[in-house]
Chain A
């Protein structure tokens, strides 16, 4: 298998190099029939390169299932007792495998792109060449710097070291592929953008093609981020879902820039504006995705998630430099082609709201980038590292995020070109009343109804931020609802349909717009979920038989504690009965696992999730008497984060659906109308 895999990787590299060189020559000497035929062979080589990389990936997975510990990678990341799905996840659980997986996804995107070339053969040919260039870099890495098929030195081992315990969780089988699909996917819009820039592509068609790809990529990255958060919450056992770790930041940055692009691209499509800006946003999304990979692979910045420090960081640094220089060269050469076509007519318009929205997204990205790199900068300047953790990001990012939320609420109410103050007031009145009512309800409702209630914003800055988040999220939700209602009412008046049927029809007619609103609604729900973190509670206690702990409205009673074992792991767990108001409502079993192959411990919290709050129990370990140490958290509103993420995914899927054609209205002249009157009676 090692031989087949290595050969397939070398073949893929050869094919990618051919695709790049032959494709490039055919574009330089276009017009000549012979060179054009060569361009076609380049396209086909790109298609076959995917087959070769796929073969290599299959070889690695089969090696994992066959427990082939002659391959160093399989020895270090798998073991005989590892369950099947996790053996499959071996493919991306280590550095070499994940780079192969990256190459596979990139080849997969290239495969789809090269098959769809008829949409616009010349633009696709340029994009194919750019994509092949990126592919060569990753294939060079997996062939010469981080080969997953390297053989283990020394005597043959009976069993492997096993998969990292933190990765032995069902979500870990989905989270990395989603994240990688997002990271890798940003290469496609970049390939189209660079291609369009080089060929001075006329019109906005390239951006329509790119927008769809960006949306898919953006959705994958979003899915990856939320799955990662959910995994951190369900597995790591610290009671949180986002820690502002450099690797988490690395996934957030391209997503933020991608979000800015998805908004500003509308300016280019509708008004021919922001052409230069969009070009740079596409490039920045791609570049930040690679930068994220550089961060995780180079060991340059300390992170919980980072892979072991290795020499491939230098490869990435060179690649980042080269892509920047190439992009800058073609930008300087052809930037005159990117002149805006229209002028801004009013400050109160959709255009200016998009400008500010883009500013805030980019500022947020810069703040995260700055915070991520500051420890390294500080080390260079003053000789000692500092930590830039949650308190920094919360202070810096939350105010910007709140401004963005305000724009999310206001933006949809602004018309393109110009909005009159009167119409803004008319459209804004009810959403504002609803949002204020929600905020007042949260402030003055007694706390016994739930931890989120009774929050006095003047007590603590975190309460103030939380309340502002709830207020602005309610404003976003109510503006979205009012947009659906107003549009639905117009259709209802015209067609006589019910209001809900009209709203469905409305969405079908403009899926992009209303899908976007659904995404905004999802964002509001997610942020309401975040706002609960201001009133999180936690408590730790050693719990023997019958011991009780009170946290929030819950009383926890330790019924028992025990141990278990299977082929892969030992486990210790406590059985905790949960009471509320004297009534037993649940039994939770937090666990601690020790994996046999790696001898590494891991926690497995047990969570009781309700719409109001999560009761989150962690088995921290044992005291001297062998009794479990239990840490309990009450985390309000967390479930809304996951619900909001699903709503965002639904909105994105909706926005990707083609619009239904609007019904054709034919004006019938009055005379014809009279002639066509049904004859009644005799």
Chain B
């Protein structure tokens, strides 16, 4: 019995943790007002103002009021986020989405930043390694390069003299 407890205890803790996380993560997700706000910030107003749907503030805007009503109706019906977005794309075209999707060529928009980050980090690591392995530059006039404790002593002296 004791042994069984030992086996199941970490699992139970893990389950509890996952459940807690899920409760936190999903808290408010089904609330229509929250969903309206979240989806409304993923859509653009199509009145050519180039603003997020819920931020469009044009006096007498010909588009945003109708679009907001449509969104509210779809959220109240309980349509899923992707269904709402698809119906908007079908009606207003792909520019109604405030960010590229993760399908087709649109994926490139998201891949590029990750790719440049990876390449950049590798490049810097390569540069750092190359610079670390670079031979110490020759000193003109046949002077002896200073190393070890003597170098540290000079550095300390330089730090004291140049810094506070």
Contacts and interface: CB of A to CB of B under 8 A. Distances in A.
Contact of B124 (A346, A355, A367, A377): A355
Interface residues of A, number: 65
A400 B106 CA distance: 21
Interface string A347-366: 10000100110010011001
Contacts of A363: 113, 116-117, 120
Contact of B95 (A340, A342, A370, A387): A387
Give the most central of A240, A359, A387, A396: most B CB within 10 Å: A387
Interface residues of B, number: 54
Contact of A392 (B56, B57, B100, B164): B100
B98 A387 contact: yes
Given A238-B51, A396-B113, A506 B57 contact: no
Contacts of A382: 104-105
B61 to A, nearest CB: 10
Interface string B50-66: 11101111011000000
Nearest to B160: A490
A411 B55 CA distance: 38
Contacts, number: 142
B57 A603 contact: yes
A342 B123 CA distance: 19
A573 B76 CA distance: 34
A42 B90 CA distance: 63
A343 B132 contact: yes
A381 B155 CA distance: 57
A431 interface: no
B155 A388 contact: no
Contacts of A396: 110, 113
B97 interface: yes
A392 B100 CA distance: 7
Contact of B131 (A344, A381, A385, A509): A344
B16 interface: no
Interface string B37-61: 0000110100011111011110110
A670 B72 CA distance: 88
Contacts of B99: 387-389, 391-392, 395
B79 to A, nearest CB: 20
A133 interface: no
A341 interface: yes
B73 interface: no
A341 B105 contact: no
A343 B131 CA distance: 5
Contact of A304 (B50, B93, B104, B117): B50
B27 interface: yes
B59 A362 contact: no
A374 B109 CA distance: 7
B64 to A, nearest CB: 11
Interface in A288-306: 302-304
B14 interface: no
B97 A459 contact: no
A552 interface: no
Contact of B136 (A240, A343, A390, A618): A343
Interface of B: 21, 24-25, 27, 41-42, 44, 48-52, 54-57, 59-60, 93-101, 104-106, 108-110, 112-113, 116-117, 120-121, 123-124, 127-128, 131-137, 155, 159, 163-164
14 contacts: A239-B55, A240-B55, A343-B132, A362-B120, A363-B113, A363-B116, A370-B112, A374-B100, A374-B109, A388-B99, A388-B109, A390-B41, A391-B98, A459-B27
Q: What are the 9 A-B residue pairs with the smallest beta carbon separation, nearest first? A: A344-B131, A389-B98, A392-B99, A343-B134, A391-B99, A396-B113, A238-B55, A621-B59, A238-B57
